[in-house]
């Protein structure tokens, strides 16, 4: 499950269809379309707690009980807190996976490729 923040009338990185680009890149990495879904969150400025409520509500209806939260390391604590707190209401375990822009650290090996945890 990927969340795409979209501000009405604005392109992301000058790319008209950013979710399609992300989907194509995930497929190039070996994921199948049935292993991921891209949710677009609309708004002028996304608020993490509201986003977590929206996203986790949607995925709980699909029976998903765990999710990996991938976010830039600077945002990990705040995002993890919001998703973990909200996830507890929906019975969804949140697994934090920060990425570091200035290092080559990787999160959890190839766990993100395993369909049963997506």
Q: What is the mean pLDDT of residues 2-6?
A: 60
CATH number at 29 reads 3.40.50
Summarize pLDDT for 41-64 with one digit per residue, the tens: 666 556 788 888 888 998 899 899
Q: How many structural domains does the chain have?
A: 1
pTM exceeds 0.95, yes or no: no
List the domain range (segments joined by +) for residue 64.
2-117
The DSSP element (H or E) to which 82 belongs, if any, is helix 76-90
More reliable by pLDDT, 6 or 93: 93
Half-sphere exposure of 70 (CA within 13 A, CB side): 14
């Amino acid at each position: 499950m990927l969340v795409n923040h979209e501000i009405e009338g604005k392109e992301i990185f000058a790319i008209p269809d950013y979710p399609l680009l992300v989907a194509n890149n995930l497929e190039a990495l070996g994921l199948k379309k049935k292993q991921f879904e891209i949710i677009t969150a609309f708004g002028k400025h996304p608020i993490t707690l509201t986003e977590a409520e929206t996203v986790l509500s949607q995925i709980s209806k699909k029976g998903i009980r765990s999710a990996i939260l991938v976010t830039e390391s600077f945002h990990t604590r705040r995002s993890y807190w919001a998703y973990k707190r909200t996830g507890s209401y929906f019975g969804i375990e949140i697994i934090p996976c920060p990425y570091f822009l200035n290092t080559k650290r990787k999160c959890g090996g190839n766990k993100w490729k395993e369909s049963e945890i997506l």
